[in-house]
Structures are given as C-alpha cells and as structure tokens.
C-alpha cells in the first residue's frame, strides 16, 4: 500500500451475548454464544473468511464500543478475544477500542438475595480492567509490556488515552461512558467531563507541532453531534461533544469515529470554515429483529491520505454489508453509507454539476464509473453531497439512475 495510505478497519456495536446469561440473547445479536462456549452460527467466521479471501488489510482496527451486551462478563471476555482475532486477520498493528454503555455495569446488578449477592461484582469497569491483552489499546505485533499497563491506568484514570507516538497520526481513545452510574438518566447518554476536556487539551497542546502536523483520529462510543435520523432519538448525544470538537480543531485536523446509534452516517462538524469528519459506524451484528429497514449490518475499511494535513481530511470508504448469508462489498445508496463515498474538499457542488452535465452523452447517457474517472473529487463526496449533486444536476436535465439494488448506475440527459 502507498506510504501515504492509512487504512482503518471499523467494526462497531458487536453485542456479543451469552445465551446462558442474558434473556432473549438471539434478539440482541447475531453473535450469540452457546452454553458450550461457541458461536451458534457462521456470522463471525464468514467475516474472517471474507477478510482472508479478499486479502483485506488495515493498519489499525477500531471498535467504538458495545462489544458485548449488558456488560455480561463471559461474553465480554469472548468478544475481546474475537476482536484480537480479527485484528490479526487484517494484519493490523493496532487495535483501539472505546468503551460502550453495554461494556460497563451501568445498568446495575440484579440483587436476588440481599446478603449473598453482595459478593457479586458491582464495579462498573472491573471486567474491562481484567481483559488480556490490556484494554483498550493493543499493539498487535509487540509483546505486552509495562507501557500497556500504564496506558490502561491512564485510560481508566483520566477517561482518555492519547497515543501520539505513531508516525502518521495522533490517536485518542475517549471513554464517553466514564461518568455513567446505575441511574437511568446517567447511562442513557455520553459525557466529557471538564477534567477530561482540560487534561486532553493539555496533552494535545504539549505535543502539537504546527509545522509538522499529523492527522488526528478520535475514537469514542457516543455521538458528539446530533444524530436523530429515522427517529432514533435526540436524548443520548455526548454532553460536551461540541466543545470537544472545537477544542480538537485547535490542534490539527480530525476524524471522529463513533458508534452507539447502530445507524451509519458520514458527515461533518463545521467550526467556521474548518470541518471535522464525523463517522457514525453502523452496527456490525445487532440482530435484524432489533433493527428496521433503514439499518444494515456493516463493517468498513477507511482509506485515508495521511499526507494531507491541511484542510479537511481526505479519504474513501469500502463498505461491506451482511447479505443474509454472506458479506459483500455494497454500493447501495439505501444503506446510508456505501462503497463509493468518502470525505474531503470537493469544491462547489453547483459548479461541479454544471461541468458534469457537459460530460453526459445526450442520447445514451454516461456510466457513473466514467463520470468518476473524469471527476475524481466525486470519490470524496459524503452521501449528502451526492443527494445535493443529484438535485443540482436536474437543473441541467440530467438524471441519476440506479440499479435494482440501489447502486448508482449512470447519468442520463433528457431533452429540455
């Protein structure tokens, strides 16, 4: 892979669940563990097989949380092992995992016997602290060291981990669940405390070099900007999220990767004319019984130009969707985020639409692939950009046609 290509594989909201310990386990996730300690279907193995068959590689594997369901300890440990297995299959050097609300005991422990059940584990994060290799950051190809333990202490003590020692990027893993308690009002949303905000800014400021900037990547569970598409709620955004993004913008250009909503969305947060890329990863494996038609099980490989450290970060996405019995590269617009979208500076969409209209054959139309070859900035359109582009093309009597599966097929020009 080119030296300036940084590939990030993303899997989110896996919700591994142990059928023996969680009621209605199969409702929650495809990744259901049997009493014998095995997965009860081929869902996960199909993912591993797809990665190996297609030679899918990444520099780091990111998981924005909810690797298990209801913080059940046996499933959490099992899920951690499987994430490390996936990282190895992808030949990653780094596994970075943020804490999700289902990864901690914020919903409390059922008390059957008020005396005997006092021996149960009531700590919100004890199971996470006991994971091996040390959670939340794993250096895949290195022997576990004291540094890994120090990272773990820092993450659970300051609610973030800043890893600036990568050549191409700065990595921040943020624990947006750190302020959760068993109070239902608390565990429904994410938080960035004032202390976490201040300490993170201090760490970023001390390492920031304006003459030798690096791409910034922040991984967290909750969404720092509002995400209420398809009626999925406005109450659970990250408190302090806007302030967090504005602070990040003082120290380079950033890509934020989060989960929680189960719905994929690729957008920007604008701070003046400066834009932060915000990628909401859809759920890898939440069961279809728990989703509606606007949700799709997906995993992603983001290909980023790490040499572009000025202006909006630039990259493209390969999106793989679960097609009922196998994983497939998806270009379906109805999936929300699909192969063929990306992010970056693309200029004025109205001017771009006018230029594209002049390249469309008036009789036979022009294949979308040919249009993208002529206008490569289209590779960096977020899904909303393509919606706006389609509207602008209609001014020039150009229609976007799609296949039966919802993939953009060609542009056709009708008579005025």
Residues with Cβ within 8 Å of residue 81, at least 6 apart in sequence:
none
pLDDT at 2 over 50: no
Are β-strands 408-413 and 366-367 bridged in parallel, bridged antiparallel, or unpaired? antiparallel
pLDDT (mean) for 217-245: 79
Return the C-alpha torsion angle 330, 331, 336, 341, nearest 10.
120
Whether 15 contacts 69, CB under 8 Å: yes
Domain boundaries, the chain: 5-343, 349-413
List pLDDT tens digits, range 47-72.
Answer: 999 999 999 999 999 999 999 998 89
List pLDDT tens digits, range 341-366.
Answer: 999 999 999 999 999 999 999 889 99
> For residue 103, what pLDDT is reported?
93
Which residue, 256, 167, 174, 247, is CA-closest to 213?
167
List pLDDT tens digits, range 93-107.
Answer: 999 999 999 999 755
pLDDT at 122 over 70: no
pLDDT (mean) for 34-40: 91
> For residue 1, what pLDDT is reported?
38
Q: How confident is the model at residue 121 (pLDDT cuts 50, 70, 90)?
A: low
Supply 367's token pair: 């294949």
pLDDT (mean) for 298-316: 95
pLDDT (mean) for 402-411: 92
Prediction pTM value = 0.93
Q: How confident is the model at residue 180 (pLDDT cuts 50, 70, 90)?
A: confident
> For residue 25, what pLDDT is reported?
82
pLDDT (mean) for 158-186: 86
pLDDT (mean) for 322-345: 93
Return the C-alpha torsion angle 286, 301, 272, 228, nearest 10.
-10
Round to whole Å and give the CA distance between 141 and 110: 40
Which residue, 410, 364, 408, 413, is CA-closest to 385?
408
Domain 5-343 has CATH 3.60.21.10: yes
């Amino acid at each position: 892979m080119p030296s300036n290509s940084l590939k990030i594989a993303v899997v989110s909201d896996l919700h591994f669940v142990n059928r023996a310990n969680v009621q209605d386990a199969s409702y929650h996730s495809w990744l259901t563990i049997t009493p014998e300690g095995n997965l009860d279907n081929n869902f996960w193995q199909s993912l591993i097989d797809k990665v190996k068959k297609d030679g899918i590689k990444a520099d780091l594997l990111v998981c924005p949380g909810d690797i298990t369901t209801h913080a059940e300890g046996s499933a959490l440990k099992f899920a951690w092992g499987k994430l490390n297995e996936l990282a190895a299959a992808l030949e990653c050097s780094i596994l970075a995992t943020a804490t999700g609300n289902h990864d901690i005991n914020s919903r409390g422990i059922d008390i059957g016997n008020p005396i005997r059940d006092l021996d149960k584990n009531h700590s919100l994060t004890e199971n996470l602290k006991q994971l091996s290799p040390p959670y939340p950051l794993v250096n895949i190809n290195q022997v576990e060291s004291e540094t890994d333990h120090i990272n773990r202490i820092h993450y659970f003590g300051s609610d973030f981990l800043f890893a600036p020692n990568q050549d191409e990027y700065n990595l921040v893993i943020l624990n947006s669940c750190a302020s959760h308690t068993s109070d239902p009002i608390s565990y429904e949303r994410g938080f960035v405390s004032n202390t976490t905000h201040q300490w993170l800014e201090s760490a970023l400021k001390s390492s920031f070099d304006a003459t030798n900037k690096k791409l910034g990547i922040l991984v967290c569970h909750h969404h720092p900007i509002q995400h209420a598409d398809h009626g999925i709620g406005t109450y659970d955004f990250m408190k302090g999220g806007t302030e967090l993004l504005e602070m990040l913008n003082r120290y380079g250009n950033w890509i934020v990767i989060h989960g929680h909503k189960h719905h994929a969305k690729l957008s920007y947060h604008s701070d003046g004319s400066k834009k932060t890329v915000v990628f909401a990863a859809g759920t890898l494996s939440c069961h279809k019984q728990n989703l509606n038609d606007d949700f799709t099980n997906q995993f992603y490989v983001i290909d980023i130009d790490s040499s572009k450290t000025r202006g909006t970060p630039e990259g493209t996405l390969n999106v793989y969707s679960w097609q009922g019995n196998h994983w497939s590269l998806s270009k379906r617009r109805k999936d929300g985020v699909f192969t063929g979208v990306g992010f970056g500076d693309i200029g004025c969409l109205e001017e771009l639409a006018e230029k594209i209209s002049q390249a469309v054959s008036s009789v036979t139309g022009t294949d979308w692939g040919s249009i993208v070859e002529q206008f490569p900035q289209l590779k960096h359109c977020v899904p909303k950009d393509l919606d706006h582009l389609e509207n602008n093309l209609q001014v020039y009597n150009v229609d976007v046609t799609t296949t039966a599966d919802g993939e953009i097929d060609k542009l056709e020009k009708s008579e005025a």
